[in-house]
Amino acid sequence: MKFLDQAKIYIKAGNGGSGSASFRREKFIEYGGPDGGDGGDGGSIIFEAERNLNTLIDFRYRQHFKAEDGHIGTKRKRTGAAGKDLIIKVPVGTQIYEEDNNTLIYDFTKNKERYLVAAGGSHGLGNVRFKSSTNRAPTKKTPGKLGEEFWVWLQLKVIADIGIIGMPNAGKSSLLAALTRARPKIANYPFTTLDPNLGVSYYDNKEVTLADIPGLVEGAHEGVGLGDKFLRHIERCKILLHLIDVSEEKISENYLKIRKELTKYGEILSKKKEIIVFNKSDLLEKKELDKKLKIFKSKIKKKFEVISVVSDTNLITLRKVLLKNVHK
């Protein structure tokens, strides 16, 4: 399924049904009184978060949504049927914005969470409502109110316990596939991953949700590479797993480049808890590996894990580390 994390749609709530102007017409009753019923309320537009959805792609093919109008009132004081509400399902993590794409209407963070975005119009009144001691046969009735209608933006931010970040081709998709049942596209060239991928890792009867975020490069906060559109998906993650290809020459510099992008994007990302993981240890001799890690530790002064997805080295240990940090 194709991934889409932003869409603009037009929503229209149902109009209220008009009231009815009618009079009793019964045998032997020459002057029957008013008996026109009220109309029905218009249906509303309600959004519902669905955990099993992970893309907004359906909104690319359908941009207009309308709830049902309320029905008109009828004789014998019968109220018109209310219009049916329209339930629009979106992935958990979806945010709804006004047409300016800046003013937040609602943020869905829980499964089955609902929010009424556009209210249906209220019903019109039938002529029976206007009967009085001075007006025994009113003909007045009122139309239903118009339902709310406007354009809104939908933005999806992936929700996961851990976001896997790093330079392109660091092995993020391979790590996700090794730790979970996810099957992202994997190839030995930069920018293989074009969309965030989600997977769940299980260990010791506990689970951790991981998101593989497309590779970041210098200038990503300004749209370089695959752009800052992917940085916003990291905002939802509790912890960042910073994956580094240890076979690269400048591992310290590559690490600092990504940290710089996170800081420039915003304070929220720069302050998130981080787990540093070196991948592709199988490509280096032990002596060379130890030397590179020693230099990194002297410059960065942070703890790290060392793995190899290809040779399945230390993956069980990494699972334990992830679970420990998520389920503290």
Helix (H) or strand (E) holding 210: strand 206-212
> Residue 2 has what pLDDT?
64
Q: What's the pLDDT tens digit per position in 86-116?
A: 999 999 999 999 999 999 999 999 999 999 9
Report, in this order, helix, strand and coil percent for the chain, each rounded to 5: 20, 25, 50
Q: What are phi and psi of 295, to 5 degrees?
A: -65, -45
> Residue 167 has what pLDDT?
86
> Residue 182 has what pLDDT?
59
Mean pLDDT for the chain overall: 87
Query: How many helices, marked H, and strands, marked E, lie in the chain?
Result: 7, 14
- Average pLDDT on 318-322 reads 92
> Residue 43 has what pLDDT?
98
> Residue 195 has what pLDDT?
61
What's the per-residue H, E or C state across 222-265? HCCCCCCCCHHHHCCCCEEEEEEECCCCCHHHHHHHHHHHHHHH
- Average pLDDT on 208-233 reads 62
Going from the N-terminus, what domains does the chain have, and what CATH number goes with each? 1-156 (2.70.210.12), 162-326 (3.40.50.300)
Q: What's the pLDDT tens digit per position in 260-280?
A: 888 888 788 888 999 999 999
> Residue 220 has what pLDDT?
40
Q: What's the pLDDT tens digit per position in 42-80?
A: 999 999 999 888 889 899 999 999 999 999 999 999 999
Per-residue pLDDT for 168 more than 90?
no
Selected residue with higher pLDDT from 225 and 48 = 48
Residue 294 contacts residue 185 (beta carbons within 8 Å): no
Per-residue pLDDT for 236 more than 90?
no
> Residue 157 has what pLDDT?
83
Helix (H) or strand (E) holding 200: strand 197-203
Q: What's the pLDDT tens digit per position in 113-149?
A: 999 999 999 999 999 999 998 998 899 999 999 999 9
- Distances in Å between the Cα of 321 and the Cα atoms of 18, 199, 294, 326 are 64, 17, 21, 9
CA dist., res. 61 & res. 26, Å (int):
54
> Residue 310 has what pLDDT?
94
pLDDT-derived band at 228, boundaries 50, 70, 90:
low
What pTM was computed for the model? 0.73
